[in-house]
Structure formats: C-alpha cells, structure tokens
C-alpha cells in the first residue's frame, strides 16, 4: 500500500544504521575540529610559525603547573612558578624531568590552558609536548617551552595558567623498541 | 488413503495453532508469542534490577558501612541502572509493541517475523553475559551505568570487555526490533488506516524506532572505541595518547539523551489510549500530540550537553544547551495539557489502568519540573551528581516509564489472557506502588539539594532520617512488585471471562477481535473507515 517495498525499506533502515555507526566515529574528528576552532577545552594548537611585535604597555601573568598522571613516577616541575609577559613577545620557561627509576621510560606531556577562552591566543613556538620524551635510568633533562601570548588576547584576561600533565606511555611506546627502530632507519 | 490426504489438506486450511512444548517458544515467529516473551523477560529483569536496588537501599538505610563493601555497592548501582534501562524498560516496550502494534493497525504479524525471534533471543544471551560479570574476579562493571571513561577504560575491572559485548548484543537486538517496528507500521497497515488515523501508541513507537536506529549505533560506536582503547592501544579517550575523556561524555550523551525519550515516548502513547478510554471521550488534540512527539524527538538530539554542564563548556555552549533543554518543556506541556483536557468533563472511572495513567501524568510532570531545574546551567553546578538528579530521573522513569507499562499491562491483560484481572488487587497494587514510590524518591530531592552525592555507600549523619524513609519506601515498592506477579498469574489462570471490548470507552482495532486474542489475527485485513 506504500511507495517502498519491504525489502527496500529495510535496506534503507540498515543503511541508516551503518551511517549512524560511522557518525559515532566521525564525532571524534568533529570534536577535535570544534575544540580547535572555538578554542574550547583549553586545547592549544600545534607549533606556531608566525611572529608578533611586543606590546610593552600590557602585561599578563602566566602561571605554570606540572602534574603527574597517576602511576607516573618522574619528577616533573617548572623552574619558576610564573612569568609576567608582554603580549607579542617571545618568552621561555624551562621544565625539568627526571627519571628516578632503573629502567628507560617514555612520557608524553599534554598541555591545557585556563581560562579556556584564552587557549586560542596562546601560541607555542617550541614545546616539549610536540614530541615524546625518552629518559634513560636516572637521566634528567631540561625541556624548554617558548611561547607568545597573542596581542589580541581579550582584555578581560589578565592572568592565565599553562598546565602540563605528564603521562607514562612506556607500555604503548617502549623506549628500547623506539631506539631500535631509529637504528634500523639509520642503517638504511 | 484419500481420507488422509483430505485431512492433510484441511490441516493447511485451518489456522496453525501454536506448536507444542518448549520449541514453540524457541522457534516462534508469532508476534504474540514474542511479545509475551519480551514482557516476561523484562519482568524478570525488573525483579533482578530491583533486587540490586534493594541492596543499595539496605546499605543506605543507615549512615556508615553495614552490609556491602563499597566496591560491591558500586557494582550494584551500575548493574541496577544498566538492567533497568536496557533489560526492563526497553524490552517491556518492545514487548508491548510486538503484541499491540499489529493488532492496532490490522496487520497479521510483524513485517519481519524471523528477525523478531532473533532480536528477542539475543537479549537473554546479552544479559547472561552482563550478569555473569558479577561472579568474575575483580567483579562486574562498577563505573555507573553511564560508564564514563577513563573509569570504564583505564580503571575498569577486567570484566569490562564482557560488558562491552553485552552492550553490543543489546544494541543489535534493539536496532533489529526498531527496524521491524518501522517496517510493520509503514508497510502492513490495514487499508484505510492512514498515518493520521493510527493510535498514538503506534505513532510514538514509530518515532521511538527512528530514535533507536539513530542512536543505538552511536552507543555501539562508543563501546567499540572503549574496546579499542582497552585492547588495541588506541587513545580515543586517553589524554596520554592525544585523546580526550570529555569526548566520551559527548558521544555517550549524544546517545544517552535520545535514549531517555526512547524510554518515555511509548509510555506517552499508551497513556494517550488509556486516558480517553476511561474518560469516555476521544483524545483531545490528536494532531498536536503527534507533532509534539516529533518535536520532542528532534529536540532530544540537540540537548545532550546539559548532562555535562560542569565539564567546562564555554558559556555560549551552556546557554545554548540550557535554552534548547527548556524548549522541550513546550511540546511536553502540550501533551500534559492534552491529557488533562481529555479528562476535563469526561465520565471518568478509576479502574487500575486509569489510576496508573493519572499518576503517570501527575508524577511525570513533577519529574519534568525537576528536569527544568536541572536544565538551568548555573543551578546545575549545585545539583550535579547529587541525589537531586537521582530523584529527578527516578520520577520520570518509575512513575513515567514503569507506571506507563503497568497501565498498559492492566489495560490489555484482558485481551492477552481472556480473563479480567482482579480489580481490587489491581487497585491495591497501584496504591502500594504509588505510596512506596513517592516515599522512596521524594525525600531524595531534599537530601540532594542539601548536598548528598549519588553513588556513595555512606553519607553524612544529617541525611539519615530522609534516607531511612527512602529505604522503607523502596522496600515497600519492591515487595509490591512481587504482588503484581501474583495478580498477573492469577489473571492468566482464571477470572471473569473478558469480553472482546472490556472497557466501554476504549477505541481501536484491538478491541474488535475476541479475548483472548486468537493466535492468528487479521489474516484478512480489516476495513478502516
């Protein structure tokens, strides 16, 4: 009595099911794009290539936090708690990481900016969070982050926090295998 | 010889009765048999999930830890939620759909009877898998029914994989059930049964089925991502690998909010049949009811983040989700006013189905109002994860979904069994449920506003009295449901014979066939004027 035969109707409904299953996975990149586009969730962008002129008339306080994710045993801290910076100027802060264990480990730092609306105005020209860190037993490294606070930072923001969480990714990226892979590449 | 052949030929002309023995139930493709199995299955799950609730309320009877370990308490809250949502409420509505939709639209059976059988039999497998995790080392799921990552990934017990597969099976079952409902409604309506003549139960189920097809695959997707994070080294929800735990909440609630309407829309439909029947008036505002259902279904897709106001969404986002959520009150209000207008100046009688339906309207509205309070983003920061939320969703699910199911069960029991249920016992069941349910859940509003967090086995002394009242009410409500089982069995075994149309104000094709409904109905489509 209706336009569609049973077979075609069921086929369409099954297709809709498949499309919605795919849509569930599509939400992952959509979420990332939205977070980047609107600077929400405090997610910062990748490496910043541009440069800006310093604005000496304005000063913003940037605080640094370093947190270990659960089960992470490294010592991880910044060399200073905060900096007064001028928007547009390039600034640097050194973070220290130390592997106190007797085995090589790899780690990944994930940055986050508070307030989240400032994330789009915080540019990193160099950051240890762009790569993974591999530390041999007892090894200590200095890890620089160089950043520019954008001149267009909303005037209401006088103070922002850059927080790093350090995750142990040894299980996922074994440091030994990592070195071996590099060796193989080198041999080629 | 010829006599034998004749017999054989005659056997074919006759309608097939049900097969004998256990295989009748295993192999059946009959919508009434499958509907019955769905209803029994959901009732068993209702008692199982209810017994978990009894453990929770026994532990919360007094402050301090008395009966169970906190770890087991967490498994109880998780399993109670999962079993009630996926095992009790959803299968009960699929059971009602199986029984009633073909009878209401004059179809001989569901459009895809074999798939119907398969989608039912997946459910016992899924729930055996889920419940078996309670006996596994490390225990069952303990992360709440919303299974937020990383609680359900990085910190989950080993049994989480069984939980994931159980969700997959339930999802496949629901999707097949939904496809079946849509195919039946769109293809098998009797001549003259236009879309706008369909009973509202059929309409709400049609819309529910589309919601199911739209969001159950997303649920399957999110548990698949969990599975990959746990076993295959991906990082969808793990910040260490560049993922984001908040993403989990977005994807989950994209499923989760329409899911709430999946559990309530069919109850709206059933109540829209029952209230006119006992008011002896046609439903007020049929067309607006259909459009309101559609509007609720549409809005359910754009409000999900109101479950996560505190994760740190931008103010613009909070405002959007707040206003979109409040907008849902408009079509819901249309429905409530239509039900009230239907009763206005009607010749009301208060048989058990009507009692449950009226309680549904009043108590669901209370649940809706606490929902409006929760929708206010700045206020939600106070209410989030407190017992106020627990009170809210139990008010929409217990006197909402479950009273809707009870009302439907009493309304159609004479049609299913051929006997009238015992009206006195039915009314007693209603009043005990009504009092028990309000005693259990109303005080939760107060302790929640005062700051008692949910999913915690112990609490501050100041909450002691209200929690004891809640527990007594919960025990009362729980015990009353065993009484419901007794009423149903009594009705199946005997009672006053039911006429084809036991309710004089009832409308619809299902009352044009004898009671109990014959095994095969509408093999010749009825004529609908």
Q: Does B68 touch chain A (CB under 8 A)?
A: no
Q: Which CATH class for the A60-177 domain? A: mainly beta
Distance CA(A17)–CA(A27), nearest Å, equals: 15
Distance CA(A82)–CA(B323), nearest Å, equals: 39
Q: Which residue has the tokens 């923001």?
A: A157
Q: Does A21 touch chain B (CB under 8 A)?
A: yes
The tens place of each residue's pLDDT in chain B, 529 residues long, gives 344 444 444 444 455 678 888 888 999 999 999 999 999 999 999 999 999 999 999 999 999 999 999 999 999 999 999 999 999 999 999 999 999 999 999 999 999 999 999 999 999 999 999 999 999 999 999 999 999 989 999 899 999 999 999 999 999 999 999 999 999 999 999 999 999 999 999 999 999 999 999 999 999 999 999 999 999 988 899 877 778 899 999 999 999 999 999 999 999 999 999 999 999 999 999 999 999 999 999 999 999 999 999 988 888 889 999 999 999 999 999 999 999 999 999 999 999 999 999 999 999 999 999 999 999 999 999 999 999 999 999 999 999 999 999 999 999 999 999 999 999 999 999 999 999 999 999 999 999 999 999 999 999 999 999 999 999 999 999 999 999 999 999 999 999 999 999 999 999 999 999 999 999 999 999 988 7
User: Is A17 in contact with B112 (Cβ distance < 8 A)?
Assistant: no
Q: Which residue has the tokens 């898998």?
A: B129
Whether the predicted pLDDT of A168 surpasses 60: yes
ipTM comes to 0.89
CATH of B34-512, one of 3.40.190.10, 1.20.210.10, 3.40.50.880, 2.40.10.10: 1.20.210.10
CB pairs A-B closer than 8 Å: 102
Distance CA(A81)–CA(A63), nearest Å, equals: 6
Strands (E), B351-431: none
- Report which DSSP code applies to B511: G
Q: Which residues in chain B are closer than 8 Å to A17, comparing Cβ atoms?
A: 175, 179, 213, 216-217
User: Is A24 in contact with B221 (Cβ distance < 8 A)?
Assistant: yes
Q: How is chain A split into domains, by residue range?
A: 1-38, 60-177
Distance CA(B335)–CA(B473), nearest Å, equals: 29
Q: Which residues in chain A are closer than 8 Å to B112, comparing Cβ atoms?
A: 6, 10
Q: Which residue of A has its CA nearest to B237?
A: A28
Active-site residue B257, yes or no? yes
- Report which DSSP code applies to A149: E
Q: Does A6 touch chain B (CB under 8 A)?
A: yes
- For position A176, what pLDDT does the model report? 61
Active-site residue B529, yes or no? no
Active-site residue B173, yes or no? yes
Q: How is chain B split into domains, by residue range?
A: 34-512
- For position B1, what pLDDT does the model report? 37
Q: Which residue of B has its CA nearest to A21?
A: B217
Task: Rounding to the nearest 10 degrees, give the CA dihedral for residues A22, A26, A27, A29.
Answer: 160
- For position A180, what pLDDT does the model report? 44
Active-site residue B174, yes or no? yes
Q: Which residues in chain A are closer than 8 Å to B214, comparing Cβ atoms?
A: 16, 20
Q: pLDDT per residue over A52-106, tens digit each? A: 888 888 899 999 999 888 778 999 999 999 999 999 889 999 999 999 999 999 9
Q: A16 vs chain B: nearest CA distance in angstroms?
A: 7
Q: Which residue of A has its CA nearest to B186?
A: A2
Position A110 confidence tier, pLDDT thresholds 50, 70, 90: confident
CA nearest neighbour of B162 among B183, B132, B137:
B132
- For position B510, what pLDDT does the model report? 94
Q: Does B348 touch chain A (CB under 8 A)?
A: no
pTM of structure: 0.87
CB A1 within 8 A of CB B103: no
Distance CA(B96)–CA(B177), nearest Å, equals: 12
CA nearest neighbour of B396 among B267, B280, B485:
B267
Tokens encoding B44: 């068993």
- For position B15, what pLDDT does the model report? 55
Backbone angles phi, psi at B418, to 5 degrees: 80, 0
Q: Which residues in chain B are closer than 8 Å to A18, comparing Cβ atoms?
A: 217
- For position A117, what pLDDT does the model report? 77
CB B141 within 8 A of CB B147: yes
- For position A170, what pLDDT does the model report? 85
Cβ neighbour number for residue B457 with a 10 Å cutoff:
21
Active-site residue B109, yes or no? yes
């Amino acid at each position: 009595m209706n336009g569609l035969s049973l077979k075609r109707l069921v086929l369409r409904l099954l297709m809709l099911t498949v499309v919605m299953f795919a849509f569930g996975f599509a939400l992952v990149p959509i979420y990332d794009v939205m977070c980047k586009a609107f600077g929400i969730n405090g997610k910062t962008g990748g490496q910043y290539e541009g440069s800006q002129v310093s604005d000496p008339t304005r000063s913003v306080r940037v605080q640094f936090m370093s947190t270990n994710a659960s089960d992470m045993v490294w010592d991880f801290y910044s060399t200073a708690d905060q900096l007064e910076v001028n928007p547009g100027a390039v600034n640097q802060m050194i973070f220290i990481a130390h592997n106190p264990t007797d085995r090589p480990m790899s780690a990944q730092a994930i940055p986050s900016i508070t307030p989240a609306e400032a994330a789009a105005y915080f540019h990193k020209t160099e950051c240890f969070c762009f790569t993974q860190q591999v530390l041999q037993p007892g090894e200590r490294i200095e890890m620089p982050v160089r950043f520019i606070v954008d001149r267009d930072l909303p005037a209401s923001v006088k103070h922002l926090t850059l927080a790093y969480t350090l995750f142990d990714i040894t299980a996922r990226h074994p440091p030994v295998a990592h070195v071996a892979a590099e060796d193989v590449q080198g041999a080629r | 010889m010829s006599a034998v052949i004749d017999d054989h030929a005659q056997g074919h002309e006759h309608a097939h009765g049900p097969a004998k023995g256990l295989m009748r139930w295993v192999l059946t493709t009959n919508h009434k048999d499958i509907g019955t199995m769905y209803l029994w299955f959901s009732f068993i799950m209702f008692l199982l999930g209810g017994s978990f609730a009894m453990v929770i309320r026994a532990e919360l009877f007094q402050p301090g830890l008395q009966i169970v370990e906190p770890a087991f308490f967490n498994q109880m809250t998780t399993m109670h939620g999962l079993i009630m949502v996926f095992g009790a409420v959803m299968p009960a509505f699929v059971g009602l759909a199986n029984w009633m939709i073909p009878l209401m639209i004059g179809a001989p059976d569901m459009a895809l009877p074999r798939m119907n059988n398969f989608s039912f039999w997946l459910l016992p497998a899924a729930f055996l898998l889920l419940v078996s995790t309670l006996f596994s080392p490390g225990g069952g799921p303990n992360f709440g029914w919303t299974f937020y990552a990383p609680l359900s990934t990085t910190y989950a017990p080993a049994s989480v994989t069984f939980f994931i597969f159980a969700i997959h099976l339930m999802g496949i079952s629901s999707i097949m059930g939904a496809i079946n409902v849509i195919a039946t409604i769109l293809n098998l309506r009797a001549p003259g049964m236009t879309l706008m003549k369909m009973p509202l139960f059929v309409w709400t189920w049609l819309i529910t089925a589309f919601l199911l097809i739209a969001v159950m695959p997303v649920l399957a997707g999110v548990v698949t991502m969990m599975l990959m994070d746990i076993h295959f080294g991906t990082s969808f929800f793990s910040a260490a690998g560049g993922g984001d735990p908040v993403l989990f909440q977005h994807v989950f609630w994209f499923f989760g909010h329409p899911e709430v309407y999946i559990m309530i829309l069919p109850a709206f439909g059933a109540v829209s049949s029952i209230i006119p029947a006992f008011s002896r008036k046609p439903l007020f505002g049929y067309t607006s009811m259909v459009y309101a259902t559609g509007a609720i279904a549409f809005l359910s897709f754009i409000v999900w983040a109101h479950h996560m106001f505190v994760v740190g969404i931008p103010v613009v986002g909070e405002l959007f989700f707040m206003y979109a959520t409040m907008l849902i009150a408009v079509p819901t209000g249309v429905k409530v006013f239509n039900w009230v207008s239907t009763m206005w100046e009607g010749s009301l009688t208060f048989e058990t189905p009507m009692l449950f339906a009226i309680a549904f309207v009043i108590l669901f509205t209370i649940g809706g109002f606490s929902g409006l309070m929760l929708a206010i983003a700045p206020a939600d920061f106070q209410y989030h994860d407190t017992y106020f939320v627990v009170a809210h969703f139990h008010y929409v699910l217990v006197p909402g979904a479950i009273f809707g199911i009870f009302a439907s069960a009493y309304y159609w029991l004479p049609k299913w069994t051929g006997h009238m249920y015992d009206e006195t016992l039915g009314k007693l069941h209603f009043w005990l449920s009504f009092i028990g349910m309000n005693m259990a859940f109303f005080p939760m509003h107060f302790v929640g506003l005062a700051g008692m967090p949910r999913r915690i086995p112990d609490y501050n002394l100041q909450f002691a009295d209200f929690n004891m009242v809640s527990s007594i009410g919960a025990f009362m409500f729980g015990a009353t449901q065993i009484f419901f089982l007794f009423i149903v069995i009594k009705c199946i075994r005997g009672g006053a014979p039911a006429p084809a149309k036991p309710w004089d104000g009832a409308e619809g094709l299902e009352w044009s066939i004898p009671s109990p409904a014959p095994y095969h109905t509408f093999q010749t489509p009825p004529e609908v004027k």
